[in-house]
Amino acid sequence: MTINLIDNIIENYDSYIIFMYKNNITFENTLFYSEGLYLKNLAEKSGFNAKKEEIFVIPFAKGNSVVQIVLVGLGKKEKVNTEIVRKSLYKGLTTLKNVESTLIIKNNPIENIEKALVETVYFANYEFDKYKTKKAEKKKIKRIDILGNLNNNKIEEAKIYAESTFITRELINEPANTIYPETLAEKAKEYGEKYGFEVEIFEEEKIKELKMEAFLSVAQAAEKRPKFIVMRYKGNKSNETIGLVGKGLTYDTGGLSLKPTNSMDTMKSDMGGAATVIGVMSAVARLKIDKNIIAVIAACENSIAGNAYRPGDIIGSMAGKTIEVLNTDAEGRLTLVDAVHYVIENEKADKVIDVATLTGAALVALGTTTTAVITNNDELYKKLEEASIETDERVWKLPNFPEYGKLLESKIADVKNIGGRFAGTITAGMFIEKFVQKKPWIHLDIAGVAYTDSPYSYYKFGATGQPVRTIINFLKKI
């Protein structure tokens, strides 16, 4: 698919998308001004009044062919924002039938909607169907041109945001028999070579030398052996470094604290944090962001075997802290703390961001539309919130009061890996906080947003790619 910003129309299209405000159906500044009164009457008599996400398709004879004119309602002019544009345009694009070329006519004064337009086009055209032997007969849009007063640099940047999100979606949507620690590492290398960031892979022997006992305890029962993935991008001459850590559980059975059967089929998505940081690093390199960023992934499977780690075990960690394991399904945080310690001690990260599909409690607290956040630095959170508003990907900060930290105190080790029944998302984040050495740190629990069983908004079934776009924006700000 190609997306181009154009100044003049030099060819015909299969369809034309035109935005409309509520109770203000007009064809001024469009190709159809001369037919405007007819089209306006047709739309209004059919009950169309341009409410937000309201779509009206008009088959229209143009020359020797019939084209589709798609009227996309945006609602009241004074209330329109980029999220309304995304949702409405997505609905309009997915209404199209057997269309290969489309012209989007920006006939309204909305500013800074380049990203919203381009990202929505990508989202509407996305399908994960590589394993279907019979593809859907519906034609995919091959070319979209945008006519209007827009910034081409922003259009090109938006393509990078969308394509990086697709990297994340593809990795998460792949089944666990194709994406496991070795192949995830290979994918990281592939994107590093393609886009220009360094990738180093640590094998199990090196991981043992680094004394990542918490990580290795989770991995020890799996037939697929663990990999530790390090991605380095240097975009600034200073020594300041941002550490980006992604949870890389390519499959999670829960270990001996076995998950229910109906909770296992989506556990291929438990490497959503890892997929997110790979997508982000691809964008960072392509956009040439002027920051030094080290991203790390402790990639493994949490499996069952006679040598699996057990509830009641006490294990070590790279930081030297001992951990009482009370639930083997609280494994992601064990891999993350070794990765966090590594990026601080060995890569000298000054700030740390970790991204993980960490807790089911995040869904209970915030549902499927909002990323849960824990942080020790309010300034970092303010910048994350600003970044999320720009991308329309919601975030919400949960408290990290000292009382929650006390729930992780162990009678026989330095810390235990769960805090009990309540405040599960908070205590999981605060477990990681115990290993950040008071560095500015922010934790994103994406368990609710990374994957969806039911299509909603402009997200189809499967991986959503959230919050790749927000993190890219965030990295620019810090």
Residue ranges for the known binding site for Mn(2+) are 247, 252, 270, 329, 331
Say if CB 32 and CB 122 are below 8 A apart. no
Respond yes or no: is residue 208 known to be catalytic.
no
Say if CB 371 and CB 449 are below 8 A apart. yes
Helix/strand/coil (H/E/C) assignment for every residue in 162-217 = HHHHHHHHHHHHCCCCCCCHHHHHHHHHHHHHHHCCEEEEECHHHHHHCCCHHHHH
Say if CB 198 and CB 243 are below 8 A apart. no
First to last CA, the chain: 33
Say if CB 58 and CB 68 are below 8 A apart. yes
Among 115, 116, 108, which residue's Cα sits nearest to residue 89? 116
User: Which three-class secondary structure state does DSSP give residue 84?
Assistant: helix
Structure tokens at 14: 């299969």
| Alpha helix stretches (DSSP H) within 346-406 | 361-366, 378-391, 402-406
Q: Which of 62, 154, 259, 476 is catalytic?
A: 259
Task: Extract the annotated binding site.
Answer: 247, 252, 270, 329, 331
Which of 406-416 are b and which e, b meaning 16 or more Cβ less than 10 Å from the residue's Cβ?
A: ebbeeeebbbb
* Phi (first) and psi of residue 205, to 5 degrees: -60, -45
Q: Which of 187, 224, 291, 333 is catalytic?
A: 333
Q: Is the dihedral of CA 272, 275, 279, 281 positive or negative?
A: positive
Among 379, 337, 341, which residue's Cα sits nearest to residue 358? 337
Say if CB 353 and CB 375 are below 8 A apart. no
CA dihedral 110, 115, 118, 121 (to 10 degrees): -90
Structure tokens at 98: 């057997």
Structure tokens at 78: 């004074």
Respond yes or no: is residue 87 known to be catalytic.
no
Say if CB 296 and CB 342 are below 8 A apart. yes
Among 362, 369, 377, 371, which residue's Cα sits nearest to residue 428? 362
Helix/strand/coil (H/E/C) assignment for every residue in 320-340 = CCCEECCCCCCCHHHHHHHHH
Among 93, 133, 141, 142, which residue's Cα sits nearest to residue 117? 93
User: From CA 461, how far away is CA 478, in angstroms rounded?
Assistant: 33
- Mind telling me the catalytic residues? 259, 333
